[in-house]
């Protein structure tokens, strides 16, 4: 395959995207400002959808081998949600971000990705044929010519700034600090929500506590000044009114101060944004990390298809169309959480009312599924227009359409036991034929160079005999075997929409 992609940022979104592109045979270069991983973890959990994304390609096996502990509860605006009482599919597991990044980096390198640390993007110029990226390192500056540049370099994205992306946001600011601190035995913390901000203290090891403070409407300290233990103690003191005893800081202290903002467009020509670079918001429950992984999973196969030349016109633009609403929803619920916490004296009645609502399982499920992305549904417009149209056979729209495919256990004709996730390991589309010979293979044979066919029996409640599954695990078509070849709205329409024109026989 021809084509080169530069990915700025070796966080979860950047590494996930790099792995997707490497798997597809795209020459991929990751440039990361930090010289080495610092081993610290801003986010401590993986949501179900993010871990399922890793399952599709293999890193999920490595994560699961560590037997990550289920996280029994999460919070929404410091109202605790009992995740343990929800369905198994709605889980959250404890996986430090540093571990996620390590596994994703190993996966990317195994597929030929070049990760260059200690380099930062300082210049971006694009034209009709490509983009020239200027990179600065200790050795000086150099330029890299690529077909595309993707900014996965965080809320203060240099790529977004240099490429001229426009953002919308609420303008509200906050000043936060976090770090892992040794704490004397018996030290008590007044953690929780206070009138001027939040103070969190999460035990993460023997004698080690993750300390996090957030002060609303307070200007931040300039980034060039290193955060200090005294700065952290002063922040705790302002929030709680109390002095605390803190021991040695493990690693370093980090600041965060981004207002909620979202790029108006995720693509400008040959430059795209993903993860926090596209949508930055108040941190809550590792939502940014998990949303970024889903961005990368959506973008990777589309960008690879565009570079191969077999994508239909507009396929790459569906990345913005599908992920921008998801990013907006993440920003919206983050804004809603801030509105439920500050100013505390004014929102106290609302918090009391809201606190009663979260006791209902249906409310807990709605909030959890919104934050974790479980309720994400991509619009498959051709389905509503053509599959139920007047011309050709009428095919009812499946409830699976546009949703994440269930990870069914499959038994092939030769008795092999596998799963839907394993069928997607190659990063290609999959026609899942459960019709037991009733479907017509000629209908999908023209896409054999891009789409795999798996004929099997499934253990699970799937009533549709034929499914078309995109490489990101979302169902693009589902219907009866006798409708797969319908000239208007059948499987062929869906195949052409997502995988381009069929190859000659």
Q: Tokens 């995988």, residue?
A: 499
Lowest pLDDT segment from 3-7, 234-238, 299-303, 488-492: 488-492
With respect to CATH, is domain 4-69+90-170+260-342 assigned 3.50.50.60?
A: yes
**Quick one: pLDDT at residue 208?**
92
Q: Is the peptide bond before 343 cis (omega within 30 degrees of 0)?
A: yes
Strands in 429-433's sheet, in edge-to-edge order, are: 417-419, 409-412, 451-459, 429-433, 466-469, 475-479
CA of residue 340 relative to chain centroid, distance: 25
State the pTM of this model.
0.94
How many whole angstroms separate alpha carbon 388 and alpha carbon 397?
A: 7
pLDDT digits (tens, 9 = 90+) for 361-371: 999 999 999 99
Q: Is the model's pLDDT at 151 over the cut of 70?
A: yes
> Residue 260 in contact with residue 170, Cβ under 8 Å?
yes
Please provide the DSSP assignment of 403-440 as one string.
Answer: SBPP--EEEETT--EEEHHHHTTTSSEEEEE-STT-S-
How many whole angstroms separate alpha carbon 441 and alpha carbon 433?
A: 9
**Burial environment of residue 314 by CB neighbours within 10 A (0 to 12, 13 to 18, 19 or more):** exposed
Q: Both tokens of residue 361?
A: 């399982």
> Residue 285 in contact with residue 83, Cβ under 8 Å?
no
**Quick one: pLDDT at residue 72?**
85
The fold of 174-256 is Alpha-Beta Plaits (3.30.70)
pLDDT digits (tens, 9 = 90+) for 116-146: 999 999 999 999 999 999 999 999 999 999 9
> Residue 11 in contact with residue 23, Cβ under 8 Å?
no
The model's confidence at residue 389, banded by pLDDT at 50, 70 and 90, is very low
> Residue 256 in contact with residue 178, Cβ under 8 Å?
yes
Please provide the DSSP assignment of 196-218 as one string.
Answer: TEEEEEEEEETTEEEEEEEEET-
The residues, any chain, with a CB within 8 Å of residue 332's CB and separated by 6 or more, are none
Q: Is the model's pLDDT at 305 over the cut of 70?
A: yes
The model's confidence at residue 433, banded by pLDDT at 50, 70 and 90, is very high
pLDDT digits (tens, 9 = 90+) for 200-210: 998 888 889 99
Q: Both tokens of residue 217?
A: 């409407």
Q: Is the model's pLDDT at 245 over the cut of 80?
A: yes
> Residue 21 in contact with residue 148, Cβ under 8 Å?
no
Architecture of domain 381-499: 3-Layer(aba) Sandwich (3.40)
* Location of each CATH 3.30.70.2450 domain in the chain: 174-256
How many whole angstroms separate alpha carbon 86 and alpha carbon 308?
A: 42
**Quick one: pLDDT at residue 181?**
95
> Residue 201 in contact with residue 210, Cβ under 8 Å?
yes
**Quick one: pLDDT at residue 396?**
58
Q: Both tokens of residue 21?
A: 């592109």
Lowest pLDDT segment from 86-95, 119-128, 371-380, 400-409: 86-95
Q: What is the mean pLDDT of residues 176-196?
A: 90
Q: Is 85 helix (H, G, I), strand (E, B) or coil?
A: helix
* Location of each CATH 3.40.30.120 domain in the chain: 381-499
* Location of each CATH 3.50.50.60 domain in the chain: 4-69+90-170+260-342
**Quick one: pLDDT at residue 505?**
65
The model's confidence at residue 284, banded by pLDDT at 50, 70 and 90, is confident
469 strand-pairing partners: 430, 475
The candidate with the shortest Cα–Cα distance to 71, out of 291, 290, 354, 292, is 290
Q: Is 9 helix (H, G, I), strand (E, B) or coil?
A: coil
> Residue 491 in contact with residue 435, Cβ under 8 Å?
no
* Eight-class DSSP state of 503: P
Q: What is the mean pLDDT of residues 286-293?
A: 94
């Amino acid at each position: 395959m021809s084509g080169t992609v530069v990915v700025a940022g070796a966080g979860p979104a950047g590494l996930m995207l790099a792995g997707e592109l490497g798997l597809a045979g795209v020459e991929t270069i990751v440039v990361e400002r930090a010289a080495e991983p610092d081993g610290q973890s801003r986010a401590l959990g993986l949501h179900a959808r993010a871990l399922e994304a890793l399952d599709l390609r293999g890193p999920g096996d490595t994560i699961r081998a560590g037997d990550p502990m289920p996280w029994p509860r999460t919070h929404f605006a410091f109202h605790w949600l009992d995740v343990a009482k929800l369905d198994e599919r709605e889980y959250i597991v404890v996986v430090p971000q540093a571990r996620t990044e390590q596994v994703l980096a190993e996966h990317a390198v195994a597929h030929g990705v070049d990760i260059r640390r200690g380099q930062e993007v300082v210049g971006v110029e694009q034209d009709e044929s490509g983009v020239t990226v200027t990179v600065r390192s200790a050795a000086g500056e150099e330029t890299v010519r690529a077909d595309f540049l993707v900014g996965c370099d965080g809320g203060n994205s240099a790529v977004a700034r240099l490429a001229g992306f426009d953002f919308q946001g609420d303008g509200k600011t906050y000043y936060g600090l976090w770090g892992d601190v040794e704490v004397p035995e018996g030290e008590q913390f007044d953690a929780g929500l206070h009138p001027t901000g939040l103070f969190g203290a999460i035990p993460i090891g023997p004698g080690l506590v993750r300390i996090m403070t957030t002060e609303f409407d307070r200007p931040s300290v300039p980034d060039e000044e290193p955060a200090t233990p005294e700065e952290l103690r002063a922040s705790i003191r302002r929030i709680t009114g109390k002095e605390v005893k803190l021991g040695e800081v493990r690693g370093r202290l980090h600041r965060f101060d981004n207002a909620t903002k979202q790029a108006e467009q995720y693509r400008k020509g040959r430059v795209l944004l993903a993860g926090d670079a596209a949508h930055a918001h108040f941190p809550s429950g590792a939502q940014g990390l998990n949303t970024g992984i889903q961005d990368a999973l959506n973008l990777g196969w589309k960008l690879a298809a565009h570079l191969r030349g077999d994508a239909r016109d507009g396929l790459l633009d569906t990345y913005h169309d599908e992920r921008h609403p998801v990013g907006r929803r993440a920003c919206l619920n983050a804004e809603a959480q801030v509105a439920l916490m500050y100013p505390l004296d004014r929102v106290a009645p609302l918090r009391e009312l809201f606190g009663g609502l979260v006791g209902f399982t249906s409310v807990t499920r709605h909030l959890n599924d919104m934050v974790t992305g479980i309720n994400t549904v991509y619009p498959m417009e051709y389905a509503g227009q053509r599959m139920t149209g007047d011309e050709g056979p009428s095919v009812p729209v499946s409830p699976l359409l546009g949703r994440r495919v269930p990870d069914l256990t499959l038994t092939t004709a030769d008795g092999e036991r596998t799963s839907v996730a394993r069928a997607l390991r190659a990063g290609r589309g999959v026609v899942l034929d459960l019709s037991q010979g009733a479907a017509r293979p000629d209908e999908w044979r023209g896409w054999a160079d891009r789409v795999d066919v798996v004929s099997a029996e499934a253990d699970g409640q799937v009533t549709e005999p034929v499914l078309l599954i995109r490489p990101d695990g979302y169902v693009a078509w589902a219907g009866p075997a006798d409708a797969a070849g319908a000239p208007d709205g059948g499987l062929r329409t869906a195949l052409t929409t997502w995988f381009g024109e069929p190859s000659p026989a």
